[in-house]
Amino acid sequence: MSLPVPVRTPAPASATAPTPAQLLDFVRRTAADTALVASLPLDPEGRTWVRLDGPGGSEAWLIGWPPGTGTGWHDHGGSHGAFAAAAGGLTEQSLAVRLPTEGWKTLELADGVDRERRLTPGRGRAFGEHHVHQVLNESSDAHAISVHAYFPPLPLMRRYSRTGAVLRLEQVERPEEWQ
């Protein structure tokens, strides 16, 4: 599904940046909006998404995940955020370590940094600005739907590949590339 590139308008100077906890509250409330969740067009082949109005100038998305799809390893370019499952289930695999953001192409991860959590409808999690993870719909037959919010709006995303303990920076994507 090809959507127009969102217009990014900065939050007013008087606005207070939403905290990760406020973003988590927003994504949980939005995930509970059954009419909104049901309105998302689903594609059997690829993820679909709709831009939402997030709180306090944040960037928010409603995302549909066909069976067996995922994001691959990535970060959010220094934004903090939250996401919650609205339908189906998602698995998040994350790293419990702060990675340097610049000056490397390949890192060997230490033992014990891997985390995994399952998110079922209504469950969500907030994360800080240095969060590295991948999100997966591991179901073989059911779509999942989730709500995501980030602040500040995503300035970039770093994409990584992973083989065992080795994490490699593969690409840096900018918002104008997400169409």
Give residue-wise pLDDT tens across range 85-97.
999 999 999 999 9
In this prediction, residue 105 has a pLDDT band, given cuts at 50, 70 and 90, of very high
Query: Cα separation of 123 and 147, whole Å?
Result: 11
Average pLDDT over residues 113-141: 97
Q: How much is the pLDDT for 46?
A: 93
Return the pLDDT at 58: 97
Q: Does residue 38 carry a pLDDT above 50?
A: yes
Q: How many CA atoms lie within 13 A of 111 on its CB side?
A: 0
Sign of CA dihedral 96, 127, 17, 176: positive
Class of domain 20-177: mainly beta
pLDDT of 15: 60
Instruction: For residues 95 and 13, give the distance between their C-alpha atoms in angstroms, rounded to a whole number.
Output: 34
Q: With cut-offs at 50, 70 and 90, classify the pLDDT of residue 13.
A: very low
Report pLDDT for 10. 43
Q: Which helix (H) or strand (E) holds 23?
A: helix 20-31
In this model, does residue 3 exceed pLDDT 50?
no
pLDDT range class, residue 179, cuts 50, 70, 90:
low
| Contact predicate 160/73, CB 8 Å | yes
